[in-house]
Amino acid sequence: MDWPRSKAVNAAGIRRQQQEFCQLLDRLKAAHFNTVLLQTRLRGDLIYPSRLETFSEALTGYTGRNPGYDPLAFAIEACHQRGMEVHAWLVTIPVGNTRQVKLQGSRSVVHQHRNLCKSYKGNWYLDPGNPGTEEYLASLVQELVTHYDIDGIHFDYIRYPEQAEQFPDRDTFRRYGKGQSLKQWRRDNLTRIVRRLYTDIKAVKPWIKVSSSPVGKYRDTRRYPSRGWNAYHAVYQEAQQWLQEGIHDALFPMMYFKGNQFYPFALDWKEQAAGRWIVPGLGIYFLSPREQDWPLDEIVRQIHFTRQIGLHGQAYFRNRFLLDNTKGIFDELEESTYPTWAIVPPMTWVDSIPPSAPTRPVLQRASDDRLVLRWEKPEESGASEVLYYHLYGSNQYPVDTSQAANLLAIRLPETHFVYQAPVAWREPRYFAVTATDRFGNESEPLALNQPAEGELHLLNQGDELILPPETHFRFLILRNANGEEVMRSRYLPNLSLTRLTSGFYTVYGIDSLGSETLLGMAVK
């Protein structure tokens, strides 16, 4: 997220830091982004209060200083208010360079768990081959999952460092690697850690999505070589095995390449996904003239290709280049690539049973351009089950909830919503709402309004409107072509139109709850 830039050194600084985050989210929401990967652990330091590690320097400018609020809790609430998922992005194996470890002092991972750490080329790393590393990371994840309502845990850098051949773990290998090659032992170490963390997370909150960001090329493919930089051989990530074993829900491969170093490897991830999600990370920072000065078309082609082969979305690194609109990337996504909302698909391999539909629909007009939509929680849903709602609208009845173009809002936490059309004449005639559980399973839709029987029998004889004699409606409203209310009356089967000027009018019935239903058109 490239946040924060401002520092929380006092009350004003806290406000600026929080406002900065909300402004980032508002822009992402405008472009229909649905998930944020928030860097929560950087290099052995955190953006939330913990008994295990210290506060990050990024928050206040000083390592270990309390920012005066809980940034992670704030970020989670801000994302959820905007209908976005938030995944805690944890840098897993690296724990800081020499400077960072020194600043962290007695609370550094190196100081507290020196036996778990290895120094390599000026940086400190947890040793994946030491069983204590698995235990330490498990305790860190347990604390995070228990105390925060996060939607996902994302493991970054869950691998050995670059040029890992000389990583100083021969002593650990001699102790724990009997009967194995060094290379396979290292792969097994990472897989063992992933398996443990996945199992522990699911035992506490099975709906949390577990993912990681492996190197973007898994290994040489039948089509093209990886030129030596790949997940499997270079850094010992057996990431495709994690999917096939069922100890990962998604991968965000770091596909910061182009041409033949991108397309064949994207297809390889797709072919080995084992029914789980692949969301390629696209290297939009290469658009910058200070980087590789890619043309915008390079990223656009990658987006189209990943859609064509059926991958599950796109991620963008880094957010700063996105919101700075480098080469027009933000405009492209907002105006062309993501014109509608997209719902995060359900984790059917964990739970595939949808909740029941919401009940008791109410639709009320608050003003000429605003509608208040209400419903109630499904009756048989357990009291502890957290539900969200997706709202749909269409001019066709019933509303087709399989069409993304009909989505008006996603992940609504409340059982009411005020809808305001971008322009009055684009307001849908019909609305529907669905309930979703924490696994993403979506209920059947509840129609919030529907065509009345009278819509088929409404007759217009010049100065008189003839309606069905018996209905549940108590009042009538007529609106002109601009959507302005021009007449309100108690319900009458014969309604005089003599007070109206010539023109076209829409006729609405209002029931005892104040819910409006479109009855039809009248011509004067």
| Residue whose token pair is 């910058």 | 288
CA-to-CA separations, 281 to 129, 246, 306, in angstroms, rounded: 28, 21, 11
How many helices (H) and strands (E) the chain has is answered by 14, 28
Is residue 472 scored above 80 in pLDDT?
no
Q: Report d(CA 363, CA 430) in Å as an integer.
A: 10
Confidence band for 381, pLDDT divided at 50, 70 and 90: low
Tokens of 125: 């790393």
Q: Is 224 in contact with 263 (CB distance < 8 Å)?
A: no
Instruction: Tell me what percent of the residues of the chain surpass a pLDDT of 70.
Output: 96
Q: Are strands 430-436 and 516-523 parallel, antiparallel or unpaired?
A: unpaired
Q: Report d(CA 133, CA 428) in Å as an integer.
A: 55
Is residue 265 scored above 70 in pLDDT?
yes
Q: Is 255 in contact with 281 (CB distance < 8 Å)?
A: yes
Average pLDDT, the chain: 93
Confidence band for 384, pLDDT divided at 50, 70 and 90: very low
Hey, what long-range contacts does 456-463 have (CB within 8 A, 24 or more apart)? 458/507, 458/519, 458/520, 458/521, 458/522, 460/521, 460/522, 460/523, 462/497, 462/524, 463/496, 463/497, 463/498, 463/524
Residue 348's closest CA among 283, 439, 410, 242?
439
Angle at the Cα of 314 from the Cα atoms of 45 and 339, rounded to 5 degrees: 120
pLDDT score of 383: 41
* Cα torsion 325, 328, 334, 338: sign: negative
Residue 480's closest CA among 458, 501, 510, 509?
501
Name all domains of the chain by residue range, CATH numbers in brackets.
Answer: 28-212 (3.20.20.80), 359-447 (2.60.40.10), 453-523 (2.60.40)
**Residue scoring higher pLDDT (86 or 450):** 86
pLDDT score of 513: 67
CA-to-CA separations, 464 to 212, 272, 302, 492, 521, in angstroms, rounded: 67, 68, 60, 11, 13
Residue 277's closest CA among 238, 250, 243, 316?
250
